[in-house]
Structure 1
Amino acid sequence: MSDLNKNIKINEANPIHEHSKASEVYIASVFNYEDAQVVWDGWLPIEYRRTGVSVDYNDKPALYTYMNKVYDQMNPGHLDKWNKDQDEFWSDRNARVTEEIFEALRDGEWKCVNHDLPSNPNFARRIQDLKEFGYTIATDTKRYCSHCGKNTTHLMMLHIPRVELAGNGYETWSPALRKRIINVLGGVDVYENVSSRNVLPDHKFSEIRWDDNTKSENPDKMTDEEIRSKFQLLTNQRNQQKREVCRNCYQTGQRGTIFGIDYFYKGDAHWDESIPKKGKDAEKGCEGCPWYDIQEWRRRLNEKNNR
């Protein structure tokens, strides 16, 4: 069994904290770097899908190995290189607004979103951009702020290596493929079942259930059948709604409905516990949910009603 570094302490009284909306889980930790006379007191993610972190708190060998690794990564002796790497990363990015928020978080301290960070009308999107750039950011939605005089949401950036997009479980596609996906699927918003100019490609299999081995390539030469199997078209509003439904299902095991219609063409309202929660095999548990394949769900429901 791996031993936990003697300079790492876990807040045993209140170790686990969750950011339920993002399905992130953290462990309250203290890292003591005696030689540098530095103490880091923060939240270390143990469930953080954007960078592929998924560590069971009860699996002590895996937990201690992970914490020891991050302790080494966050050694103050590496900070100069970390800062240099970030300067190089942002030097060829055209994302000034997001960069301003990064700079405010750069020192690694807890920051109140109300007054420590730049004001932005789409602040949540900017934080999501930072996470998709591979940064690890802890979120505490109920931390007391002396300036505000109440509990507010605070963010903390961890000084660990940024995870490149290719390794974080997300998929990308070229503008040409995006256009082709929309054309192959007829530009039809499957939720409203009407043609729309405002639709976006949506993965049927929700990203919240992906793991490191789930991601696949989306070449421009994907066949029409591959496109129909993998994607559907939704407006951004419905895409966000689906994300929330899938997040709730992942956390509670309660599958979603559309218009409150309690119909599933496979399974029922509860996630099948015999199916893994994450990974390629988890997609089997999504089948039959209306949000997974809205067009197929509608077809099956009509077929059932017309019998």
Structure 2
Amino acid sequence: MNPFKKGSTQYKDFETMSDCEWHCTKCELLSGQAKTWQVWRQEKGIQLDQDEEGHWYKKMFCKHCGTNTIHRKLKTTEIIETGLKARTSIPPQIAKRAKELYGCVDEYSVRVEPANQLEIDHRVPQVRWTSNEEDNSNLSDEQIIEKFMLLSRANNLLKSRICEECVKTGKRGKGYKVIEFWYEGGEAYSETLGCVGCFWHNPTKWRDELNKKMKQVK
């Protein structure tokens, strides 16, 4: 059963993909944002297939447009219960304030990026939430910094993959350039600590704490 509103872009994409074959995102599918497919998996319970390397897409030659493009595929049309807690929208004014507070710096790469290339990402991933998200309309600057970080689309997807792997394996992601350091706890995920201490929860705090350790060694 198609879970989307009839006539919508995502409804049409689900109908196209219901044959469970690979489909070109350039000439066959209408949804243009990579975030759409993440929402399909994590929030809608739609089961997408993976390529040989574990990506939720496959780069292959498209016989329709004649180029190598990213393709998407349903593993099955069966929709599963995700168990994820609901998130609320981030109002434009909050997104604007977050970018101003951080100076449009991508917290992973520590590079200033164009504002329209940055996404407001939750420090604690949705897959780790234990309750539904509260309204984001009236957050203080401190609450914005505690709750959100800025990431480019590519780095946001990278964080999502690593957090999903942590949920599956119970092993927290390594730091920038695969550095094995957690400023609180260790590699094993702890319900008590949660995400605190992991690079992917707070790259800025992680770097500060690593620098302190390095100075102590000197």
Report the TM-score when normalising by structure 2: 0.71
Q: What amino acid is the match of 1:119?
A: E
Q: Which residue of structure 2 aligns with residue 289 of structure 1?
A: 198
Q: Which residue of structure 1 aligns with residue 12 of structure 2?
A: 100
The structure that has the greater radius of gyration is 1
Q: Distance in 2 between matches of 1:286 and 1:124?
A: 25
Conserved? CA contact 2:85–2:132, under 8 Å: no
Conserved? CA contact 1:102–1:130, under 8 Å: no
Match for residue 123 of structure 2 among 186, 204, 207: 204
Q: How far 1:136 moved relative to its partner?
A: 4.7
Conserved? CA contact 2:88–2:133, under 8 Å: yes
Alignment of 1:127-276 (within 5 A): 127-128=37-38, 135-139=44-48, 154-157=75-78, 169-197=86-114, 198-211=117-130, 213-219=131-137, 221-257=138-174, 258-272=176-190, 275=191
Q: Distance in 1 between matches of 2:154 and 2:37?
A: 19
Q: Could you list the per-position Cα deviations for residues 146-204 of structure 1 after superposition, in whole angstroms to 9, with x for gaps in the alignment?
A: xxxxxx8533055x9xx9xxx95123111222111111222111112232212221110
Q: Distance in 2 between matches of 1:176 and 1:123?
A: 22
Alignment of 1:118-133 (within 5 A): 119-120=28-29, 126-128=36-38
Conserved? CA contact 1:256–1:291, under 8 Å: yes
Q: Could you list the per-position Cα deviations for residues 100-148 of structure 1 after superposition, in whole angstroms to 9, with x for gaps in the alignment?
A: 223346xxxx622237x9823859655445568x755345669xxxxxx
Q: Which residue of structure 1 aligns with residue 66 of structure 2?
A: none
Q: Secondary structure at the match of 1:233?
A: strand
Q: Which residue of structure 2 aligns with residue 112 of structure 1?
A: 20
Give the gaps of 5 or more residues in structure 2. 52-72
Question: Greater strand percent: which structure?
Answer: 1
Q: Could you list the per-position Cα deviations for residues 77-120 of structure 1 after superposition, in whole angstroms to 9, with x for gaps in the alignment?
A: xxxxx99x96xx446xxx53x23223346xxxx622237x9823
Q: Distance in 2 between matches of 1:252 and 1:127?
A: 22
Q: Which runs of 4+ in 1 moved over 6 A?
A: none
Q: Distance in 1 between matches of 2:35 and 2:105?
A: 26
Q: Distance in 1 between matches of 2:199 and 2:161?
A: 14
Q: How far 1:205 moved relative to its partner?
A: 0.4
Against the structure 1 CA distance between its residues 205 and 135, is the aligned structure 2 distance closer, same or farther, given a 3 Å change threshold? closer
Q: Distance in 1 between matches of 2:215 and 2:145?
A: 25
Against the structure 1 CA distance between its residues 232 and 263, is the aligned structure 2 distance closer, same or farther, given a 3 Å change threshold? same
Q: Which residue of structure 2 aligns with residue 300 of structure 1?
A: 209
Q: Secondary structure at the match of 2:177?
A: coil
Q: Distance in 2 between matches of 1:301 and 1:135?
A: 38
Q: How far 1:264 moved relative to its partner?
A: 0.7
Q: Could you list the per-position Cα deviations for residues 45-98 of structure 1 after superposition, in whole angstroms to 9, with x for gaps in the alignment?
A: xxxxxxxxxxxxxxxxxxxxxxxxxxxxxxxxxxxxx99x96xx446xxx53x2
Alignment of 1:20-99 (within 5 A): 89-90=5-6, 95-96=8-9, 98-99=10-11
Against the structure 1 CA distance between its residues 135 and 194, is the aligned structure 2 distance closer, same or farther, given a 3 Å change threshold? closer
Against the structure 1 CA distance between its residues 223 and 246, is the aligned structure 2 distance closer, same or farther, given a 3 Å change threshold? same
Q: Distance in 1 between matches of 2:33 and 2:100?
A: 32
Against the structure 1 CA distance between its residues 130 and 291, is the aligned structure 2 distance closer, same or farther, given a 3 Å change threshold? closer
Q: Distance in 2 between matches of 1:306 and 1:183?
A: 31
Conserved? CA contact 2:16–2:29, under 8 Å: no
